[in-house]
Amino acid sequence: MLIDSHCHLDRVDLSPYQNDFSEFMRETREAGVDHMLCVSIDLESYPAMLDLVLPYEDISVSAGVHPNDFDRREPDVEALLELASHPRNVAIGETGLDFFRSEGDLEWQRQRFRVHIQAAREAGKPLIIHTRDAREETLQIMREEQAEQAGGVLHCFTENWEMASAALDMGFYISFSGIVTFKNAQELRDVAARVPLDRMLIETDSPYLAPTPYRGKPNEPKYVRRVAETIAELRGMEVSDLANQTAQNFQRLFSTPLK
Ligand code: NI
């Protein structure tokens, strides 16, 4: 079983599929992708995203507002809880801190992150956390808001072992994207070889960050296989075992039993 634990399906390039989402789904299933988690990045695009994916039972959704953009409708705990109550919702996020893409006074980002953690705890749902150039503060806010009570995943992980280890200690999972296939990502591959197998997820973050050899092109969930292949090779195991193990982890974390 192969699962893409993080993608943005309302943003994938449908031009190879006659601009037809159902054709995209047919080919994605045919390529062996059994389930996808379609991750919300703002409240403005959320209703259309939900409409797009609802007909497909092999797609789950999350509810959240990405840390990159200041000029989005600001969610409060209540709004997130309302979205999280949808039967197809399995998580809160993506949320977190990004000091790489945003500059200036980022108090709004910290506050937004805290609101998401509070909502996740209240909803009893795991967090999908984005963190970039903000290691210490991400961990600090996670601790202050008792994020371990909600649990979750550090998605598209690009940080060092110390951060992975601190998140693992809080009960979090670590998710690897196509970045592990990049030539210059040796440090990240070392982390991927070390994270306990039962605490690891794989993802594409489509349509961003296509793995080698598709780098620079629009990413798609079916390329999650490249992520599985790369990590399986690192760890000297069969691709199918890596895929099955990460699929089990997904089902455990997101309480989403799949057939
Ligand atoms: Ni994302």
pLDDT, residue 259, reads 67
> Per-residue pLDDT tens for 81-102?
999 999 999 999 999 999 988 8
pLDDT, residue 101, reads 85
In-domain check, residue 164: yes
In-domain check, residue 108: yes
Specify whether the CB–CB gap between 126 and 153 falls below 8 A: yes
In-domain check, residue 203: yes
Q: Is the pLDDT at 25 greater than 70, yes or no?
A: yes
Mean pLDDT computed over every residue of the chain: 97
Rounded to the nearest whole angstrom, what is the distance from the C-alpha of residue 129 to the centroid of ligand 1?
9
230 Cβ partners below 8 Å, 6+ apart?
A: 180, 181, 189, 192, 211
> Per-residue pLDDT tens for 101-140?
888 889 999 999 999 999 999 999 999 999 999 999 999 9
Q: How sure is the predictor about 257, in pLDDT bands with cuts at 50, 70 and 90?
A: confident
Supply the CATH number for residue 231's domain: 3.20.20.140
pLDDT, residue 258, reads 86
In-domain check, residue 111: yes
pLDDT, residue 14, reads 98
Rounded to the nearest whole angstrom, what is the distance from the C-alpha of residue 149 to the centroid of ligand 1?
23
What is the helix, strand, coil percentage profile of the chain, to 5? 45, 15, 40
Rounded to the nearest whole angstrom, what is the distance from the C-alpha of residue 17 to the centroid of ligand 1?
22
The whole domain housing 190 covers 2-254
Rounded to the nearest whole angstrom, what is the distance from the C-alpha of residue 259 to the centroid of ligand 1?
26
d(C-alpha 126, C-alpha 188), whole Å = 24
Check: pTM over 0.95? Answer yes or no. Answer: yes
How many domains is the chain partitioned into structurally? 1
In-domain check, residue 249: yes
Rounded to the nearest whole angstrom, what is the distance from the C-alpha of residue 6 to the centroid of ligand 1?
6
In-domain check, residue 259: no
